[in-house]
Amino acid sequence: MSAPKKVVLAYSGGLDTSIILKWLQTEYGCEVVTFTADLGQGEELEPARKKAEMLGIKPENIYIEDVREEFVRDFVFPMFRANALYEGEYLLGTSIARPLISKRLVEIAAETGADAVSHGATGKGNDQVRFELAAYALNPEITVIAPWREWDLSSRTKLLEFAEQHQIPIAKDKRGEAPFSVDANLLHTSSEGKVLEDPAEAAPDYVYQRTVNPEDAPDTPEIITIGFEKGDAVSINGEAMSPATILTALNDYGRKHGIGRLDFVENRFVGMKSRGVYETPGGTILLQAHRGIEQITLDSGAGHLKDSIMPRYAELIYNGFWYSPEREMLQALIDKSQEHVTGTVTLKLYKGSVFVVARDSEHSLYSEAHVTFEEDAGAYNQEDAAGFIQLNALRLKLLATRDRRLKG
Amino acid sequence: MSAPKKVVLAYSGGLDTSIILKWLQTEYGCEVVTFTADLGQGEELEPARKKAEMLGIKPENIYIEDVREEFVRDFVFPMFRANALYEGEYLLGTSIARPLISKRLVEIAAETGADAVSHGATGKGNDQVRFELAAYALNPEITVIAPWREWDLSSRTKLLEFAEQHQIPIAKDKRGEAPFSVDANLLHTSSEGKVLEDPAEAAPDYVYQRTVNPEDAPDTPEIITIGFEKGDAVSINGEAMSPATILTALNDYGRKHGIGRLDFVENRFVGMKSRGVYETPGGTILLQAHRGIEQITLDSGAGHLKDSIMPRYAELIYNGFWYSPEREMLQALIDKSQEHVTGTVTLKLYKGSVFVVARDSEHSLYSEAHVTFEEDAGAYNQEDAAGFIQLNALRLKLLATRDRRLKG
Amino acid sequence: MSAPKKVVLAYSGGLDTSIILKWLQTEYGCEVVTFTADLGQGEELEPARKKAEMLGIKPENIYIEDVREEFVRDFVFPMFRANALYEGEYLLGTSIARPLISKRLVEIAAETGADAVSHGATGKGNDQVRFELAAYALNPEITVIAPWREWDLSSRTKLLEFAEQHQIPIAKDKRGEAPFSVDANLLHTSSEGKVLEDPAEAAPDYVYQRTVNPEDAPDTPEIITIGFEKGDAVSINGEAMSPATILTALNDYGRKHGIGRLDFVENRFVGMKSRGVYETPGGTILLQAHRGIEQITLDSGAGHLKDSIMPRYAELIYNGFWYSPEREMLQALIDKSQEHVTGTVTLKLYKGSVFVVARDSEHSLYSEAHVTFEEDAGAYNQEDAAGFIQLNALRLKLLATRDRRLKG
Amino acid sequence: MSAPKKVVLAYSGGLDTSIILKWLQTEYGCEVVTFTADLGQGEELEPARKKAEMLGIKPENIYIEDVREEFVRDFVFPMFRANALYEGEYLLGTSIARPLISKRLVEIAAETGADAVSHGATGKGNDQVRFELAAYALNPEITVIAPWREWDLSSRTKLLEFAEQHQIPIAKDKRGEAPFSVDANLLHTSSEGKVLEDPAEAAPDYVYQRTVNPEDAPDTPEIITIGFEKGDAVSINGEAMSPATILTALNDYGRKHGIGRLDFVENRFVGMKSRGVYETPGGTILLQAHRGIEQITLDSGAGHLKDSIMPRYAELIYNGFWYSPEREMLQALIDKSQEHVTGTVTLKLYKGSVFVVARDSEHSLYSEAHVTFEEDAGAYNQEDAAGFIQLNALRLKLLATRDRRLKG
C-alpha cells in the first residue's frame, strides 16, 4: 500500500487518542479527520471538538455525532432478539458498538476523500479486530492504521513524553496511571487490566462505576412492565419510548437496583484469556424481559432452534464479524422468529436481581385449556400420549433388544 | 401384550400413589411391589412402608432406598458438567430424577420377577415420557402401566370416592384440593398448576417453599468457596464432602439467601406450554461456580463447542432421553472437556443472587504474562495481530470487492 | 370430534384410494371430494376423473390439477438451495411432495365446506405424519381420516373382497400383490417393501424404473451446462426454462445416463429402519450443479453455516415439519445466502455419475490474483500468515504449557 | 526467540526441500536433521537418504520412516468414523497427513535436541497452518521456520540459481516449471495451481494420475465386500487385513474403476478460494462402505447427532486443529457412536461409481418384523401413530389457532 494521505480517526478527545492524532500527523504526515460519537458513554462531546481544533484539525474535518438511536435500534436491539450471551454470561456491550463506529469511519472517509481510518485499540485485544474487520468489509480498499501495533510508545513514560513534546495538554489525573481501563456506551461499561489482572483476587469496589452496590440498593423491590413489539422493547410501564430512550430508562432502573454486574474471565479472539468487570444495567433487565415475552409467544421449535444457534451468533459478534454473510444469515433466521414476540412482561427489580413475575400477550401460544389440571373439555386427549411415547421409545427398544441379543 | 402379573410401582406413600396401588390390585388383579426412594425430597420414608403394608403389600415387596448419593453422583453432577439449562433458564431438577427412578423400577422388576412397572404421572406432562422412555430403554420387554392415562378417576371427587371405597386413609389436608402441585428432590422443588395457571398473574408468595424470600434474606452477603475436581464439586470452604452432602449444604446456603427462584413458562415435550415455579437453591449456586472454574481452566475451543451442544443436551434430558445413544455421546464429549476443570471458586451470596468474585487453579490457562497491560517481555507479539486480522478479513474484502464490481 | 360430514380425499385413481373412497362413504357416511394432482408422477389423470365419477363422486367434487410448476418452484427449489440430504444420502423426493398435497387438500376443504381430509398412507410410515402435520398446521380444526390406521382391511384378501363387494373395478395386474410399493413424482421414484425388505439382499434389477442401468447407459459422456439465478436453476445449455421444465429435462438426462440411483436404509420418524430404493435422476444432477455454483459464489462463512444447519433442515422436511416456524426460519437463513448464487456450471454425465468440470460467474468470489502460484503483485502478503498462525496457535500453546507444568 | 541451532526438516528429497535444506544451513547456520516419511505417496525413500547425505547431513541426522500403518490407524480411520467431508465433498486427504508429520518432527526434535522444525509449505496455503498448529500444540516452545514466507527466492529462476550456486542437483524434468503442483499420500493425490487456476476451464486429462479415466475403466462392474469392526474396515472379501493394507487394496480397486475423482473449488482457512483436483480412490469406496454399515447398525439419534457435528469436525481437520481439545471432544463423541458399527457391506464398483448394494450385521437395528408390509404379529401398533402425530401436531395447531385469532 502507498502511504495514506488523509485518515479518519475514531477520536474520544482523551489523552490517548490525542496522542494518536498528533502521531498520525507527524509519523504519516497526513491530514486527520476526527470522528467523535455519542454512543451514550456519558461524556460531553464539545470538549473533544475544542481539543481537536487546538491540535490543528480543520473545523470541516471534525465530525461529532449523536448515534445513540442508531446504536440501539440497528445494533443493540437486533442482537437482543437473539438473547445473545458470549460464553454464557457476557452481554457483548463493547463488541456491538465497534461495527457502528467503523461504519461511520468508512462513510466519513468516503465523504471526505480519506483513504485511511485509524483507531486507538491495542494489539492484544478484540477491539482492533472488530474495528478492522468491519472497516474492510465495508470498504475493501481502505487502509487501517493501528498506532498501538506500530509505534514505539510502549510505556506510559514515553507516551507522556510524546504528549509534552507535542504540546498535548495532559489532565492532572492522567499523569499517574489509571488503575484499570474503561470502555463505556449506552449498553454497558467494561473495566479491565491492572488491578483486575489477577482473577483469583476479587475486584475492588471502586471498579464499579455504573451501578450501585446491591447492598446499597433500595430495600424495597420495584415492579416495572416492559412492552415488546416483534422482539423489540417499545414501552415501559405503558409509556412508548424510542429505542435509546428505553435503554436509558432501563439503565436508570438497573443502576438504582444494582443490576447487571459481572466479574468474568473470557476468551479473546486473539487467543488469550482476560478478566473483565462488566456493568450492563439496562441490558440485563432487557434480556430477562425478552426471554419472558418469548416464553409465551415463541413456539418451541422456533425457540430451540434460536437457542442452538445463539452461541455461534454471539461468537460472531464478539469476534468482530457483524458485517459478515453468516451474521446476516443468522439475523434473518432470528428476525423471522420474532414476528409474534409482542406483549408485556412484568419484572421485579431488587438488590441486583431481575425476576420475571408475569407476561401477557395477544400473541400468546400458552393455552390454559390444554395445560389445566382441571377437566379440559377434550382439548387434549391423554391417550395420545401413549402412542407418542411408544413411537419415541421404538428405537430405544430396538437398541435394548440388540444389546440383549448380543449378550444373550 | 398379555395382562401383567406383577408390577413395580413408584410409590411415594401419598394419597395418589396409594390409590394407584389399590387400583393396580383391583383393576389388573396383579401383585404389587412398591419402590419408595429418598431422592432428597425431604419426607420421611418409613410412613410409606407402613402405608404399603396396610394396603396389603408383602414386606418383601416393599423397597425403600436412599439413592441420594447415586442421584447426585451419577445424574446431577454429569448434567452440571454441561452447564445444562433448558430454554435458557430451567435447571432440569425434575427431569434428571426420573431416569434414576425408572432404572430402579426396572432393576427391581428383574429382581422380583415382575413384568410391569407403574408410575403416577399424568398424561399431560413430561414425566410420563421420562419414566417410560427410560424403562423401555433399559428393558424393551417391560410393560408400563400409566393409570392416569387409563382410568376414569378423572376428578378429585372420584378419586376420593375410590379411596374411601377401598379404605385408603385420607389425610385431612388432602380432602380439599391442593392449590398447586409439587415435585421435590435434592436438586429442586417445582410447583405448577391451579393458582399458577395464568402466566399473566404473579405467583403467590406461599408457592415458594424451599427458599426464603430474597427480601427476608440476611442483609449481609456471605462468601463461600467451592472446590472442583474434573468438573465436579468436591468441597466447600476447604472441607471435602460427598456429592449429596455438598448439594445438601449448597441447598442450605441457597435457602438462606433466597437463591434459585424461577417463575417460568416452558415448552413441554408433549406440545403445550406450561408455567412452573422452580426453586433450585444449591443447583443455582453450583451452576455459577462451575462456570466460574471453567472460565480459567477450559480452553475456548472446548468451551464454545460445549456451549453449542448444550441446548441439545438439555433438551434430551428434558424430553426423557437420558438413556439414549445421543445423550451418551454428548456426555462423552462433555466429560472429555472436564479433565482439567479443577480448582476453587469464590462466590458471594446475597438476597437472591450469586456472584463469582474469584477463581483459582493449578490448571489455569489464564496467562497474566500474555494479557497484561504492562510490558510483557515478549510473551505476545502485537504485530502478529496485523496478519491475523488481514487473513480473517480476506474473505470479507473479496465479498466487498464483488459487491463493488457488480454495482460498478 | 364429531363425525365428519364432508371429506377431501387425496385420490390417485388407483385401487387402494378407490377402496378408501368407498370406505369413507360407507363407514363415515360422508360426502367425498377427490383431489388428484399431477406432481409429475407420469400417469394420466383423466382416468382418475372417470373412476371417481363411476364411484359416485359429483363432478363439482372432483379436483384434478397440474401442480408441477408449483411443486418445483415453491418446494423442490427452496429445498435444493440448502443442498438438503437426509442421513447423508437421500434427496427427500417423497417428503417434499407431501406438504403441497396437504396444502391443496386443506384449501379445497375450505372451498367446498369440507370438515375433514383423508389420505392413503399407512400407520407405519412417514407419509401419514407429513400429510397430517401439514394439514393441522394449515387448519387446526380440520379432521384427518387415516383409513389404514382405522379399518380392519388388514390383508390383501380383505381389501379385494371389499373392492368386489362394492363394485370397485380391479385391474388384472392388481389381483396379485405387487412385489414392492412405489411412489413417484417429478423429483423421484421410490420403491420399498416386499422384495426389498432384506437389506442384506441386493435389490433386483426390475425395481429400477426411472433410470437405465448405468451399464446400459451411453458409452460416451455428455456435457451440459446449467444456469443458476439466486440459487435456482434457470436454464440448460443456455436455454431458459421454467422450474418444472428444467427438472423434467434434467430427469431425461439422468434417466439416459443412469444417474441418481440409491439403495438405502434410513431411519423413519416413527422409530424403525426401512430400506428403500430411490431414483432421483434430475435431482442428483441438480444437487451437484448447485454445489458447483456455490463453490465459486458463496463465501466460506456462509457456506459453513449452511452446511452446519443442513442436517436439521433435512430432518425437518423428512419428519413432516415443512409448515413449521423452524423450517421457515432456516429457509430465511438459506435464502439469504443465495443472493449471489448466480452463474453457470458445466457437468459431465456418464454411466451413473455426475462430475462438475467447470463453473463460471459474474458473482464469483474466486480470485486468481490471490491464489496464483505466480507473482501476485501484492494481492496477498505471505507474512500475514505468520501472525495468523501465531494467534490461532496461542491457545494451543497455553494448553501445552499447562500440560508441561502439571507433568512438571 | 533466539536463533535456532538445530532444525528438523520435513524432507522429501525433491528439489524444493533440498533448496530449503541448504538455505537453512546457509541462512540460519544451523544443523539440519531430515525427516522423510513414507505416507504411501508412492515414491522410493532411499534416494532421499542419498541426497541428504550428499547435502552434508550426518547419517545420524537422517530419519526415514514408514508411517503408513500409523497414518491409517490413528488418523485416517478415526476421521472416517465421522464420515468427514469438507464443504460437502472433499475427503481431507492432505489435511489428515499433516498432523502426523508434525508429530514426528516434534518428537525427532526432542530426540535430537533440536530447537526448531521446518517445512516446505508456502504462505498462501493451508498446510503451513496445519504443520505449525500441530507443532505448537505438541511443543509450545518449538520454533517453526517456514522458508517460503521468509526468503526472497520468489521466482523459479531464483530458486534454480540458488540450487546451482549450492551444487544442488536439478533433475532435467525440474528445469521447466511443472504445470501444476501435487501432493500425495496413501489416502489421496491432490493437484492444484497453474493449469488448474481457472475454475471455468475443465481440468486437462493429464492432471489425473492416480485413477484411470472412468471411460477407460472395465466395462463390467466388480463386487466387493468390506468388513467393519467398531467403525473401522478390517477385511475385504473376507480376508482380514491391517489398516494400511486395506486402504492400499481399496486404492487398487478404486484406481482400476476410475473412482474418487473430484474437481473442486474450496475455501482455504487463510481466506481465499482455490481450485483443486483430488483423487481419493480407496477413501471414496471406504466412505460409502462406512455409511452403508452405519445404515443398519447406528441408531437414528446417534446418526443425526453425528451428521450435525460432522461439518465442524471436518472444518477442524481442514484448518489444522487435529491436536485441539475440541477435535478430541468430537472424536470422543464419534468413537462412542461406533461401538456397534460392525458387519459387512457389499459394493458395486463401476466406471467411477460406488454403489452400496447390501449390508449385513449381527449388530443390525433393522427389524423386518417392524417394517414389513405383511402382518407383523403385533410388533408395531399402527394406532400408536395417531397419538404420536397428535402430540407432534399440538404446537402447530396452537400456532395456527393464534394466527386465526389474530386475523380474527
* Min Cα–Cα distance to chain C from D83, Å: 9
Q: What is the mean pLDDT of residues B211-215?
A: 98
Q: Is D15 annotated as a binding residue?
A: yes
- What's the grid cell of residue B137? 430403554
Asked whether residue B246 carries a pLDDT value surpassing 90, the answer given is yes
Q: Which residues of A touch D406 (CB under 8 A)?
A: 362-363
Inspect the interface and report whether the beta carbons of A271 and C393 lie closer than 8 Å.
yes
- Cβ under 8 Å to A: D residues 271-310: 299-301
| Of residues B315 and A376, more confidently modeled | B315
DSSP letters spanning B173-186: GGTSPPSSEEEE-S
Residue C373 has pLDDT above 80, yes or no: no
D392: which chain A residues are within 8 Å (Cβ-Cβ)?
388
Mean pLDDT of chain B: 96
Above pLDDT 70, what percent of chain A? 100
How do residues A147-186 score in pLDDT, each as one tens digit? 999 999 978 889 999 999 999 988 877 777 788 999 999 9
User: C-D interface: how many C-beta pairs under 8 angstroms?
Assistant: 274
> What is the number of residues in chain A?
408
Question: Of D188, D209, D10, nearest to D94 (Cα)?
Answer: D188
Query: What residues of D are labeled active site?
Result: 16, 98, 127, 181
Q: Is the pLDDT at A1 greater than 60, yes or no?
A: no
The annotation status of A253 as a binding-site residue, yes or no, is: no
The string of pLDDT tens digits covering residues A270-311 is 999 999 999 999 999 999 999 999 999 999 999 999 999 999
B164 in D contact zone (CB under 8 Å)? no
pLDDT in tens, C344-372: 999 999 999 999 999 999 999 999 999 88
pLDDT at A371: 87
- Determine the residue among C336, C338, C390 to mutate to test chain A binding: the one whose Cβ has the most chain A Cβ atoms within 10 Å: C336
Query: Residue D1 — very low, low, confident or very high, per pLDDT cuts 50/70/90?
Result: low
Strand A261-267 to C343-350 pairing = unpaired
pTM listed for this prediction: 0.98
- Is there a contact between C388 and B386 if contact means CB atoms under 8 Å apart? no
**Which residues in chain B touch residue D329, judged by CB atoms under 8 angstroms apart?**
302, 305-306, 333-334, 336-337
Cell output for C327: 423450517
pLDDT in the model for residue D175: 76
Q: Give B324's contacts in chain A (Cβ within 8 Å).
A: 396
Mean pLDDT of C143-167: 93
Residue B160 to residue D212: CA distance in whole angstroms: 82
- Smallest CA-to-CA distance from A122 within D52, B372, D280, D175 is with B372
- Residue keyed to cell 433466597: B258
Give all domains of chain C, ordered by start, each with its CATH number. Answer: 6-85+93-166 (3.40.50.620), 181-298+340-360 (3.90.1260.10)
Question: Among A121, A124, A69, A141, which Cα is nearest to A100's?
Answer: A69
Which residues of A are identified as catalytic? Answer: 16, 98, 127, 181
Find, in chain B, the residue whose alpha carbon is nearest to that of A384.
B123
Those chains having 3 or more beta-carbon pairs within 8 angstroms of chain C are A, B, D
User: What's residue A206's pLDDT?
Assistant: 96
Q: Are B78 and B100 in contact (CB under 8 A)?
A: no
Rounded Cα gap, residues B338 and B230, in angstroms: 5
- Looking at per-residue confidence, does B172 or A242 come out higher? A242
Averaged over C132-152, what is the pLDDT?
97
Counting residues of chain D whose pLDDT is more than 90, the rounded percentage is 91
Taking an 8 Å cut-off on Cβ atoms, the answer to whether C363 and B388 are in contact is no
Closest Cα in chain C, distance from residue B382 (Å):
9
CB contact under 8 A, D393 and B326: no
If you measure CA to CA, which chain D residue comes closest to B309? D309
> Is C325 part of the contact surface with chain A (CB cutoff 8 Å)?
yes
The chains in contact with chain B, meaning 3 or more Cβ pairs closer than 8 Å, are A, C, D
Average pLDDT for B327-345 = 98
The reported pLDDT for the residue numbered D101 is 98
- Band (C378; pLDDT cuts 50, 70, 90): confident
Q: Which residue of C has its CA nearest to A1?
A: C378
Catalytically annotated residue among B73, B74, B181, B353: B181
Backbone torsions φ then ψ of D67, nearest 5 degrees: -110, 20
pLDDT digits 0-9 by tens, D250-263: 999 999 999 999 99
Cell 472437556 sits at which residue?
A: B337
CB neighbourhood size of B201 (10 A): 14
Residue-wise over D159-195: b if at least 16 C-beta within 10 A, else e? bbebbeeeebeeeeebeeeeebbebbbbbbbbbbbeb
Using the Cβ of D110 and the Cβ atoms of chain C, whether some distance falls under 8 Å is answered with no
Cα A312 to Cα A88, A276, C81, C367, distances in angstroms:
12, 21, 22, 28
pLDDT, residue B364, reads 98
Convert chain D into a string of H (helix), E (strand) and C (coil). CCCCCEEEEECCCCHHHHHHHHHHHHHHCCEEEEEEEECCCCCCCHHHHHHHHHCCCCHHHEEEEECHHHHHHHHHHHHHHCCCCECCCECCCCCCCHHHHHHHHHHHHHHHCCCEEECCCCCCCCHHHHHHHHHHHHCCCCEEECHHHHCCCCCHHHHHHHHHHCCCCCCHHHCCCCCCEEEECCCCEEEECHHHCCCCCCCCHHHCCCCCCHHHCCCCCEEEEEEEECCEEEEECCEECCHHHHHHHHHHHHHHHCCCEEEEEEECCCCCEEEEEEECHHHHHHHHHHHHHHHHHCCHHHHHHHHHHHHHHHHHHHHCCCCCHHHHHHHHHHHHHCCCCCEEEEEEEECCEEEEEEEECCCCCCCHHHHCCCCCCCCCCCHHHHHHHHHHHHHHHHHHHHHHHHHC
> pLDDT for D49-71, tens place per residue?
999 999 999 999 999 999 999 99
Give the pLDDT of residue A156: 85
β-bridge partners, D263: D277
CA nearest D140 in B: which residue? B379
* Among the listed residues B228, B286, B298, the one whose alpha carbon sits nearest the alpha carbon of residue B252: B286
> Nearest CA of chain D to the CA of C58: how many Å?
30
Decide if B312 is catalytic: no
Q: D396 vs C264: CB contact, 8 Å cut-off?
A: no
What contacts D157, CB < 8 A, 6 or more positions away? none
B219-230 burial, b for 16+ CB within 10 Å, e for fewer?
A: eebeebbbbbee
Enter the C-alpha cell of residue C161: 373382497
Is A263's CB within 8 Å of B198's CB?
Answer: no
> Residue D177 — very low, low, confident or very high, per pLDDT cuts 50/70/90?
confident
Q: What mean pLDDT do residues D223-233 have?
A: 98
The predicted pLDDT at position A237 comes to: 98
What residues 46-75 of chain D have any CB closer than 8 A to a CB of chain C? Answer: none
Q: Over 90: is that where the pLDDT of B173 sits? A: no
Residue B1 banded pLDDT, cuts 50, 70, 90: low
Residue B184 identity (one-letter amino acid): A
In chain D, which residues have their Cβ closer than 8 Å to the Cβ of C266?
Answer: 295
pLDDT, tens only, A189-207: 999 998 999 999 999 999 9
Q: What is the mean pLDDT of residues B162-180?
A: 86
Tens of pLDDT along D330-352?
999 999 999 999 999 999 999 99
The residue type at B91: L
- For residue B397, the distance in angstroms to the closest alpha carbon of chain C comes to 10
pLDDT at res. A129: 98
Per-residue CA distances from D27 to D112, D115, D141, D160 (Å): 21, 16, 21, 17
Average pLDDT over residues D128-141: 98
Nearest Cα residue in chain B from D381: B1
Tell me what pLDDT residue C1 has.
Answer: 53
In chain A, the residue whose alpha carbon lies closest to the alpha carbon of C336 is A329
Q: Which residues have C-beta within 8 Å of that of residue B334, sequence separation ≥ 6? A: B78, B81, B82, B306, B309, B313, D329
The pLDDT value given to residue D172: 77
CA torsion sign for B162, B164, B169, B175 is positive
pLDDT at position A98 is 98
